Amino acid sequence: MLHKLLLLLVLVGPGFAEEPPDVDCVVLHLESVKCTWNKHGNPKVNYTFRSWFHDEAVRECEKYITNNSLKIGCIQPYGDITNRFLTFYMQLVHGNHTFPKSDYLKSKVKLNPPTNLTVQNGSDWNLWFYWNQTLPSCVENEVRYRINYKEWVPDRVNRGKQNYCINLPSSRSQYELQVRSKLHEVCGASGWSDWSDSVMWGSNNGTESDQGDGSMFVWIIVFVLAPVILILMVVLLLRYERFRIIFIHVVPKPSLIPQDIEPWLQISKGLKEGFKANYHEQACPVREYRQVPQ
pTM exceeds 0.75 for this model:
no
In terms of Cα–Cα distance, which of 107, 83, 135, 139 is closest to 26? Answer: 107
Band the pLDDT of 13: cuts 50, 70, 90.
Answer: very low
What fold, for 111-208? Immunoglobulin-like (2.60.40)
Band the pLDDT of 12: cuts 50, 70, 90.
Answer: very low
Between the alpha carbon of residue 96 and those of residues 59, 66, 112, 174, the distances in Å are 18, 22, 38, 62
Class of residue 238 by CB neighbours under 10 A (exposed 0-12, middle 13-18, buried 19+): exposed
User: Do 111-208 and 19-109 fall under one CATH topology?
Assistant: yes
Say yes or no to pLDDT of 210 above 50: no
Instruction: Give the start-to-end residue ranges of the domains of the chain.
Output: 19-109, 111-208
Q: Which residue has the higher pLDDT, 203 or 259?
A: 203
- Fill in the amino acid letter for 173: S
Number of other residues whose CB lies within 10 A of the CB of residue 59? 14
**What digits encode the pLDDT tens for the residues 48-59?**
999 999 989 999
Class at the top of the CATH hierarchy for domain 19-109: mainly beta
User: Which residues have a Cβ under 8 Å from the Cβ of 52 and sit 6 or more positions away?
Assistant: 58, 59, 88, 89
Band the pLDDT of 21: cuts 50, 70, 90.
Answer: confident
The mean predicted confidence, pLDDT, of the chain is 80
The stretch 26-38 carries a mean pLDDT of 93
pLDDT for the residue numbered 231: 86
**3-state secondary structure string across 83-126:** HHHCEEEEEEEECCEEEEEEEECCCCEECCCCEEEEEEECCCCC
pLDDT for the residue numbered 4: 47
